[in-house]
Structure 1
């Protein structure tokens, strides 16, 4: 199958715009960022979406949805003109809004009314969405903060490559870490560790760094390069070198 040239070298930026906005101080405990995507395509475009361990609340065309953490990449078809306003919650910090473990949202989308009620912000912008969230602010949950801090620890420390290492660093049992992630993050600690370590590969490729794949696979705890490539493809949708082609230099 011939590859869509709009995927290569950042060409997708011709038809899409991405904007990221920091939350107000009183909501920063829960919200990582707001994001706005707009697009204009004469013919449909198959957008690759790579997962992170965030829960997202999205607003589009008068509808609001909660998207749980995904265990693998997904594709969204973008056609014509449109836009989405999104709220990316900090990993672990959506659980206080939810009456149940975040694991039940894994690889799922639900109507936002099941969590926040039927009212929607109007218009959909940062001011109105923040007002909407403040109406529904939950009671503080120290375990949510703990889970969120552990995800930050994983993201910031390339030396964490196993759940055992994470559990030791946090002074917890492996089973306790697994239960905490199921309840608050919605996806397992092993997946989160692999996601961030594999992301570092994309950064090296983008920087043009030569990679010793066999050595890297061993450093990341894989049995061999084939297992690393399999995990990368599941999360990012294609082999590392193919994925890197999406983000070459682009000039408007």
Structure 2
């Protein structure tokens, strides 16, 4: 007998007058090199809500079932765009503000850069530092993906459709990503603590060629990817409510010292480490 696939875990919560629902499920083992995770969400608040989204070593795909989010330009708070049906955000080195008027509902798919390269079929450098309408980027056969997802009755059915769509694209892809996939895994496994000259030697290429491969298949050079991986590990640690002084955290996550950590946090979040930490503690209540 085949083991039953895991079903979606749904968590609901309230905070004052705000209510939210979060549905999660692990990706199938076959797709884990391409999908970091996915979730379905519904949120109702008594008024407009703005969030500061920190950069991550992944390509974020938002499929919206409700009114479109206002997405501000990277690192800014003045000019915003709307993307009815959803959007795709490439790798970046700074924060992005998003805002809704009191209600949002949709599905978030977090792809590894390699997964995004195979799914969308475009060089990842075209998405670096950009937010693009999902309708403009989705393959033609999946042009109605947002409508199809919204019509389905359960989160499990939606997650199943996402996995089928990505699995088909991976099987159909004729893009060679093996070298970069290996290097990407090495950087992740080491938490970003990788010497780039040594990495190039292991791959048997010049540093320039490795950078070119990363720009095409990841979107950023390997050195910036390593910084994002290290920062993401720090973020996940803090979001889980873990303690530690900044000096202790700097040593734990491979920064030269506390000042080095502070510089990276300031660049990536646009705010001080203390304020960034407070925001992550607030968000930890939304984790299942």
TM-score tier, shorter chain, comes to 0.7 to 0.9
How far apart are the structure 2 equivalents of 1:165 and 1:57?
Answer: 33
Within a 5 Å distance, the mapping from 1:6-25 to structure 2 comes to: 15-25=19-29
Within a 5 Å distance, the mapping from 1:205-220 to structure 2 comes to: 206-212=241-247, 216=251, 220=255
Q: CA deviation at 1:229?
A: 2.2
Answering whether residue 79 of structure 2 is matched by residue 56 of structure 1, we say no
Residues 167 and 173 of structure 1 are in contact (CA less than 8 Å); yes or no, is this contact kept in structure 2?
yes
Give the number of the structure with larger relative contact order, counting CA–CA contacts within 8 Å between residues 6 or more apart.
1
Answering whether residue 38 of structure 2 is matched by residue 34 of structure 1, we say yes
Q: Give the aligned partner of residue 144 of structure 2.
A: 119
Between the two proteins, the alignment pairs up a number of residues equal to 239
How far apart are the structure 2 equivalents of 1:139 and 1:251?
Answer: 40
How far apart are the structure 2 equivalents of 1:187 and 1:208?
Answer: 31
How far apart are the structure 1 equivalents of 2:191 and 2:31?
Answer: 28
Within a 5 Å distance, the mapping from 1:25-174 to structure 2 comes to: 25-61=29-65, 63-114=85-136, 115-117=138-140, 118-120=143-145, 122-124=148-150, 125-140=158-173, 143-158=176-191, 160-174=193-207
Q: CA deviation at 1:77?
A: 0.7
Structure 1 residues 33-91: Cα deviation after superposition (integer angstroms, max 9, x where no partner) = 22223211112121121121222332113714332222211111133122120222222
Query: Unmatched 5+ residue regions in structure 2?
Result: 1-14, 66-83, 151-157
* Segment of structure 1 superposing worse, 105-114 or 67-76: 105-114
Q: CA deviation at 1:155?
A: 2.3
Q: TM-score, normalised by structure 1?
A: 0.76
Aligned residue for 1:43, secondary structure, equals coil
Structure 1 residues 133-187: Cα deviation after superposition (integer angstroms, max 9, x where no partner) = 3454453557424323322322221472542243345444321221111010112
* Segment of structure 1 superposing worse, 196-205 or 112-121: 196-205
Structure 1 residues 70-117: Cα deviation after superposition (integer angstroms, max 9, x where no partner) = 221111113312212022222222222344311111122223333312
How far apart are the structure 2 equivalents of 1:65 and 1:193?
Answer: 25
Q: TM-score, normalised by structure 2?
A: 0.68
Alpha-carbon RMSD across the aligned residues, in angstroms, is: 3.5
Aligned residue for 1:242, secondary structure, equals helix
Alpha-carbon distance change, 180 to 16 in structure 1, aligned in 2, over 3 angstroms:
farther
